[in-house]
Structure 1
């Protein structure tokens, strides 16, 4: 859509980053990663016992799995950046913001 707005085709060999600088449209992958990080921190800081927190703490059942790639939980890539104790680290908002930048960068660097 951004290419159509500028009248640029793929044959022009212009990078997406250059197009985004001209259109000033936010990269959707970065935006989604940032919102996911912020929401996870918000839920982890809650203390009222709502179901969202219980869903984040859920562990899959144990036992024999079939061959193939094991399923990943929603929080697995959060823990990859912030560490296994990411819920505790989310209580410190300044630390959580700094980790969030690393998370967004990691999320969009390979996507």
Structure 2
């Protein structure tokens, strides 16, 4: 992006390497392995994987110590599912499935508590999983629908009601004192935007927020961007 190239990102014991071609990635992996060995560190071939970000499957053969790394179409990184198709909707569906699964497990264990206690457990354990990394991604109508549907399924379970009871979702949220998940994410997104704006210019997040990709976007409707998501008029007037 811009005049700066970011090829290696490290966090804890994770390392994320990117390149424009297979040959460039192989050279980058070799240099990274060489630098790691100088620090008495070993690159695990069993835990290392390769992935090509493209709409169609493209073969990528990367070798470390004579072993070919496994090529995958998706993998989990810091709790987020990253796919080669860059499909954010699938990532959100995965998070929603995990949240619904935890909500179902809680229903078998602690759902005999009062509504207030159940709501506190939901806010502390289930909603953070449902909205994990939501403040850093763009918001589309599909993502909002998945989040709201998952949340209301859990809240109706807390309240002990179903769709057959014909109770409005807004009434259930008001009685349980739970803010709409989309509005909550919008507030977090605005807070994250203010936090990034207050960072120093050399911080990676501050630099990435002000840059634009130097590559050409694919044909079709342009995807919704993060800035467009939290700067829209509907969010500016959101409480």
TM-score, normalisation: structure 2: 0.32
Deviation at 1:31, TM superposition (A): 1.1
Q: Where does structure 1 differ by over 3 angstroms across 4 or more consecutive aligned residues? A: 78-81
The equivalent of 1:59 in structure 2 is 212
* Partner SS, residue 226 of structure 2: coil
CA change 1:18–1:79 in 2 (3 A) is closer
Q: Distance in 2 between matches of 1:9 and 1:51?
A: 46
More helix by share: 1
CA change 1:79–1:17 in 2 (3 A) is closer
Say whether the 8 Å CA contact 2:155–2:172 is kept in structure 1: yes
More strand by share: 2
Deviation at 1:25, TM superposition (A): 1.9
CA change 1:33–1:78 in 2 (3 A) is closer
- In structure 1, the gaps of 5 or more residues are 82-99, 106-111
Describe how 1:59-78 pairs up with structure 2 within 5 A: 59-61=212-214, 63=216, 65-78=217-230
* Partner SS, residue 200 of structure 2: coil
Query: Bigger relative contact order, structure 1 or 2, given CA contacts below 8 A and separation 6+?
Result: 1
TM-score, normalisation: structure 1: 0.63
**CA RMSD in angstroms, aligned pairs only:** 2.4
Q: Distance in 1 between matches of 2:223 and 2:236?
A: 26
**How many residues are matched?**
86
Larger gyration radius, structure 1 or structure 2? 2
CA change 1:66–1:49 in 2 (3 A) is closer
